[in-house]
Chain A
Amino acid sequence: MSRKALDYDQINENVKKAQYAVRGELYLRASELQKEGKKIIFTNVGNPHALGQKPLTFPRQAPFLLDDPNVGLVFPADAIAKAKMYLSYTAGGLGAYSDSRGLPGIRKENAIIIGDSDPELIYLTDGASKGVMQMLQTIIRGNGDGILVPVPQYPLYSAAISLFGGALVPYYLEETANWGLDINNLRQSVRAMVIINPGNPTGQCLSVDNLQQILRFCHQENLVLLGDEVYQQNVYQDERPFISSRKVLLDMGPPISKEVQLISFHTVSKGFLGECGQRGGYFEMTNIPPQTVDEIYKVASISLSPNVPGQIFMGVMVSPPKPGDISYDRFLRESKGILESLRKRAHMMTDGFNSCKNVVCNFTEGAMYSFPQIKLPPKAIAAAKSAGKVPDVFYCLKLLEATGISTGFPPEDDHFAGRGGHACNHGEFQEVQ
Chain B
Amino acid sequence: MRKFVAHRAKTIITKATASLFTPHRIHPTSSSSSSSSDFYYYYYTRTLNRFFTSLDSSTSMSSDKSAPPLTVESLNPKVLKCEYAVRGEIVSLAQKLQQDLQANPGSHPFEEILYCNIGNPQSLGQQPITFFREVLALCDHPTILDKSETQGLFSADSIERAWQILDQIPGRATGAYSHSQGIKGLRDAIAAGIEARDGFSADPNDIFLTDGASPAVHMMMQLLIRSEKDGIFCPIPQYPLYSASIALHGGTLVPYYLDEATGWGLEVSELKKQLEIARQNGITVRALVVINPGNPTGQVLAEENQRDIVEFCKKEGLVLLADEVYQENIYAPNKQFHSFKKVSRSMGYGDKDIPLVSFQSVSKGYYGECGKRGGYMEVTGFSPEVREQIYKVASVNLCSNISGQILASLVMSPPKVGDESYDSYFAERDGILQSLARRAKTLEDALNSLEGVSCNKAEGAMYLFPRIRLPNKAIKEAEAAKKAPDAYYASRLLNATGIVVVPGSGFGQVPGTWHFRCTILPQEEKIPAIVSRLTEFHKKFMDEFRD
Nearest CB of chain B from residue A390's CB, rounded to whole Å: 14
Whether the Cβ atoms of B316 and A1 lie closer than 8 Å is yes
Taking the complex as formed, is B103 at the interface, i.e. its CB lies under 8 A from any CB of chain A?
A: no
| B80: chain A residues within 8 A (beta carbon) | 295
Q: Please name 16 further chain A to chain B contacts, defined as beta carbons within 8 Å, in addition to the given A144-B60, A279-B400, sorted by A numbering.
A: A7-B383, A12-B222, A19-B392, A60-B141, A74-B150, A94-B371, A138-B76, A140-B76, A143-B54, A150-B11, A174-B5, A180-B27, A191-B69, A213-B13, A309-B371, A420-B36
A62 to B150, CA, bound (A): 17
Within 8 A of A (CB), among B20-49: 20-21, 25, 27-30, 35-36, 38-40, 42-44, 46-48
A-B contact pairs, 6 of them (CB 8 A): A20-B395, A185-B21, A204-B11, A277-B177, A298-B83, A306-B373
Q: Which of A46-54, A107-115, A317-325, A336-344 contacts B (4 or more CB under 8 A)?
A: A46-54
Within 8 A of A (CB), among B102-122: 118, 120-122
Whether the Cβ atoms of A73 and B143 lie closer than 8 Å is no
Taking the complex as formed, is B318 at the interface, i.e. its CB lies under 8 A from any CB of chain A?
A: yes
Chain B CB within 10 A, most for which of A68, A209, A305: A68
A184 to B398, CA, bound (A): 37
- Binary contact readout A2-18 vs B (1 if CB under 8 angstroms, 0 otherwise): 11111110111111101
Whether the Cβ atoms of A70 and B355 lie closer than 8 Å is no
Which residue of B has the minimal Cβ distance to A268? B175
Across the A-B interface, the 4 shortest Cβ-Cβ residue pairs: A189-B63, A92-B123, A50-B176, A308-B371
Taking the complex as formed, is A118 at the interface, i.e. its CB lies under 8 A from any CB of chain B?
A: no
For chain B, the count of residues having a C-beta within 8 Å of the partner chain is 146
Known: A8-B385, A70-B153, A129-B396. A96 touches B122 (CB 8 A): yes
Chain B CB within 10 A, most for which of A174, A224, A415: A174
Whether the Cβ atoms of B141 and A64 lie closer than 8 Å is yes
- Binary contact readout B76-99 vs A (1 if CB under 8 angstroms, 0 otherwise): 110110111011100000000000
Known: A92-B122, A180-B25. A139 touches B46 (CB 8 A): no
A287 to B67, CA, bound (A): 13
- Binary contact readout A280-314 vs B (1 if CB under 8 angstroms, 0 otherwise): 00000001110110010011011111111110000
A169 to B68, CA, bound (A): 20
How many chain A residues sit at the interface, stated as a range, is 35 or more
Nearest CB of chain B from residue A387's CB, rounded to whole Å: 20
Taking the complex as formed, is B245 at the interface, i.e. its CB lies under 8 A from any CB of chain A?
A: yes
| A189: chain B residues within 8 A (beta carbon) | 60-63
Whether the Cβ atoms of B144 and A295 lie closer than 8 Å is no
Whether the Cβ atoms of A50 and B170 lie closer than 8 Å is yes
Whether the Cβ atoms of B176 and A49 lie closer than 8 Å is yes
Taking the complex as formed, is B273 at the interface, i.e. its CB lies under 8 A from any CB of chain A?
A: no
Taking the complex as formed, is A327 at the interface, i.e. its CB lies under 8 A from any CB of chain B?
A: no
Taking the complex as formed, is A200 at the interface, i.e. its CB lies under 8 A from any CB of chain B?
A: no
Identify which of B1, B83, B120 contacts A92 (C-beta below 8 A).
B120
A159 to B214, CA, bound (A): 20
Known: A6-B319, A175-B29. A360 touches B392 (CB 8 A): no
A261 to B72, CA, bound (A): 14
Q: Which of A214-222, A229-237, A394-402 contacts B (4 or more CB under 8 A)?
A: A214-222
Identify which of A18, A287, A303, A358 contacts B215 (C-beta below 8 A).
A303
Nearest CB of chain A from residue B98's CB, rounded to whole Å: 10
Nearest CB of chain A from residue B179's CB, rounded to whole Å: 8
| B397: chain A residues within 8 A (beta carbon) | 126-127, 129-130, 133
Within 8 A of A (CB), among B136-189: 136-137, 140-141, 143-144, 147, 149-150, 153-154, 170-171, 173-180
Taking the complex as formed, is A382 at the interface, i.e. its CB lies under 8 A from any CB of chain B?
A: no
A334 to B136, CA, bound (A): 24
| A378: chain B residues within 8 A (beta carbon) | none
Chain B CB within 10 A, most for which of A190, A210, A310: A310
Identify which of A156, A181, A419 contacts B21 (C-beta below 8 A).
A181
Known: A190-B63, A217-B15. A67 touches B133 (CB 8 A): yes
Chain A CB within 10 A, most for which of B9, B11, B124: B11
Taking the complex as formed, is A95 at the interface, i.e. its CB lies under 8 A from any CB of chain B?
A: yes
| A68: chain B residues within 8 A (beta carbon) | 133-134, 137, 153-154
| A176: chain B residues within 8 A (beta carbon) | 12, 28-30
| B222: chain A residues within 8 A (beta carbon) | 12, 14-15, 163
Taking the complex as formed, is B4 at the interface, i.e. its CB lies under 8 A from any CB of chain A?
A: yes
Within 8 A of A (CB), among B229-248: 241, 244-245, 248
Whether the Cβ atoms of B20 and A371 lie closer than 8 Å is no
Which residue of B has the minimal Cβ distance to A52? B171
Whether the Cβ atoms of A298 and B84 lie closer than 8 Å is yes
Within 8 A of A (CB), among B375-400: 382-383, 385-386, 389, 392-393, 395-400
| A156: chain B residues within 8 A (beta carbon) | 396
Taking the complex as formed, is A29 at the interface, i.e. its CB lies under 8 A from any CB of chain B?
A: no
Whether the Cβ atoms of B123 and A96 lie closer than 8 Å is yes
A182 to B20, CA, bound (A): 6
| A139: chain B residues within 8 A (beta carbon) | 69-70, 75-76
Within 8 A of B (CB), among A94-146: 94-98, 100, 126-127, 129-130, 133, 137-145
A287 to B270, CA, bound (A): 49
Whether the Cβ atoms of B140 and A63 lie closer than 8 Å is yes
Known: A64-B140, A276-B176. A220 touches B68 (CB 8 A): no
Nearest CB of chain A from residue B7's CB, rounded to whole Å: 4
Whether the Cβ atoms of A144 and B61 lie closer than 8 Å is yes
A173 to B472, CA, bound (A): 66
Taking the complex as formed, is B546 at the interface, i.e. its CB lies under 8 A from any CB of chain A?
A: no
A159 to B180, CA, bound (A): 15
Whether the Cβ atoms of B402 and A278 lie closer than 8 Å is yes
| B30: chain A residues within 8 A (beta carbon) | 174-176
Nearest CB of chain A from residue B52's CB, rounded to whole Å: 7
Taking the complex as formed, is A207 at the interface, i.e. its CB lies under 8 A from any CB of chain B?
A: yes
Whether the Cβ atoms of B224 and A71 lie closer than 8 Å is no
Taking the complex as formed, is B261 at the interface, i.e. its CB lies under 8 A from any CB of chain A?
A: no
Whether the Cβ atoms of A8 and B396 lie closer than 8 Å is no
| A71: chain B residues within 8 A (beta carbon) | 137, 144, 150, 153
Whether the Cβ atoms of A95 and B15 lie closer than 8 Å is no
Chain A CB within 10 A, most for which of B7, B18, B319: B7
Whether the Cβ atoms of B226 and A13 lie closer than 8 Å is yes
Whether the Cβ atoms of A5 and B287 lie closer than 8 Å is yes
Nearest CB of chain A from residue B205's CB, rounded to whole Å: 12
A237 to B479, CA, bound (A): 65
Taking the complex as formed, is A170 at the interface, i.e. its CB lies under 8 A from any CB of chain B?
A: yes
Whether the Cβ atoms of A179 and B71 lie closer than 8 Å is no
A14 to B12, CA, bound (A): 32
Taking the complex as formed, is B280 at the interface, i.e. its CB lies under 8 A from any CB of chain A?
A: no
Within 8 A of B (CB), among A226-276: 259, 261, 269, 274-276
Taking the complex as formed, is A432 at the interface, i.e. its CB lies under 8 A from any CB of chain B?
A: no
Taking the complex as formed, is A199 at the interface, i.e. its CB lies under 8 A from any CB of chain B?
A: yes
Known: A277-B174, A277-B399, A307-B403. A145 touches B16 (CB 8 A): no
A227 to B415, CA, bound (A): 46
Whether the Cβ atoms of A292 and B149 lie closer than 8 Å is no
Whether the Cβ atoms of B211 and A23 lie closer than 8 Å is no
Which residue of B has the minimal Cβ distance to A202? B6
Chain B CB within 10 A, most for which of A7, A47, A220, A302: A302
Chain A CB within 10 A, most for which of B4, B225, B319: B4
Taking the complex as formed, is B65 at the interface, i.e. its CB lies under 8 A from any CB of chain A?
A: yes
Identify which of A67, A90, A175 contacts B140 (C-beta below 8 A).
A67
Whether the Cβ atoms of B68 and A222 lie closer than 8 Å is yes
| B38: chain A residues within 8 A (beta carbon) | 419-420
Known: A12-B223, A362-B4. A74 touches B153 (CB 8 A): yes
| B60: chain A residues within 8 A (beta carbon) | 144, 187-189
A299 to B476, CA, bound (A): 32
A175 to B54, CA, bound (A): 28
| A52: chain B residues within 8 A (beta carbon) | 171, 173
Known: A143-B56, A298-B82. A375 touches B2 (CB 8 A): yes
Which residue of A has the minimal Cβ distance to B357? A6
Which residue of B has the minimal Cβ distance to A64? B140
Whether the Cβ atoms of B82 and A304 lie closer than 8 Å is no
Nearest CB of chain A from residue B291's CB, rounded to whole Å: 16
